[in-house]
Amino acid sequence: MTKPPLTLYLAAPRGFCAGVDRAIKIVEMALEKWGAPVFVRHEIVHNKFVVDGLRDKGAVFVESLDDCPDDRPVIFSAHGVPKAVPAKAASRDMIYVDATCPLVSKVHIEAQRHADNGLQMVMIGHDGHPETIGTMGQLPDGEVLLVETVADVGSIAPRDPDRLAFVTQTTLSVDDTIDIVAALKARFPAIIGPHKEDICYATTNRQEAVKAMAPKCDAMLVVGAPNSSNSKRLVEVGEKAGCAYSQLVQRATDIDWRSLDGITTVGITAGASAPEVLIDEVIAAFGERYDVTVDYVETAVETVEFKVPRILRAPA
């Protein structure tokens, strides 16, 4: 039986970013240095396949420092943690390694600098997301006001409208954030923004690749986890860029083949915490059903690398 022809557009860049790569390496190096178990506060990155793989090697994932023994190392996830968490670990004389993405740490430093200058912070981010919790937790309660939408801008009540600065979660939709920033500047003309955009290079690059790819596609699949902010944003960007059928899949087994019946072009990308092996799995699944031609849509080349913390580079 002849397979129907299908063009797969593969976004580049896609998948792992430098911060995710570094965070996974930190857990692996910690296991090599101290042996199992090594505790990790929250999923190191938002991807079940990655987390399960590290768990198999001896990582234990917990949601609170209270679930960690004093005598085993603990690693803080790539999303960052409130300031109180490393302080508590230090008070217990724990060995801890901070795997916070350096671009998230940059936002933390920025927020602290503005607070030191007497400014109240506004954070553009998703309520309850670990990165938002971590960034807001750099400052005392009440010092950071959270906005998720343009509508939220109208309801915040800063103590001094002329003494404000804003930061953003690093994994937001670039286009949506532009609208929220515009609303903040319209309501608070004196508000101070970042010197350079807080949304990280990897989020921006993956969204740009999707924008270039989406108009060519009958359907688009984003390989990523349902709790991955940057992956969910890629789905939204794909829809807005002209691909009405944009879906998030964790791996090939999640693909709804009936919905793809009759299509001739599919775009594939992946969130920043999805490994290439899962993308290869999706491509192989299409190859079993279609006569596939792969076409690359490359909009940027990434060369960023981040060093692991010194504690892991020093001898045990």
Catalytic residues: 131
Query: For the range 154-159, what are the long-range contacts, defined as Cβ-Cβ under 8 Å and sequence gap of 24 or more?
Result: 154/183, 154/187, 156/122, 158/120, 158/122, 158/188, 159/120
Please give the order of strands across the beta sheet that includes 245-249: 245-249, 219-223, 265-270, 5-12, 291-298
Environment class of 166 (CB within 10 Å of its CB; exposed 0-12, middle 13-18, buried 19+): buried
| Beta carbons within 10 angstroms of residue 262's beta carbon | 7
With CA atoms as reference, report the closest residue to 218 among 17, 2, 7: 7
Environment class of 142 (CB within 10 Å of its CB; exposed 0-12, middle 13-18, buried 19+): exposed
Cα separation, 157 vs 145, in Å, equals: 8
Report whether 266 contacts 219 (CB < 8 A): yes
Please tell me whether residue 257 adopts helix, strand or coil conformation.
helix
CA–CA distances in Å: residue 41 to residues 76, 139, 277:
5, 20, 25
Cα separation, 198 vs 169, in Å, equals: 7
Asked whether the bond before 130 is cis by omega within 30 degrees of 0, the reply is: no
For 265, the enclosing helix (H) or strand (E) is strand 265-270
Which two tokens mark 267? 């775009």
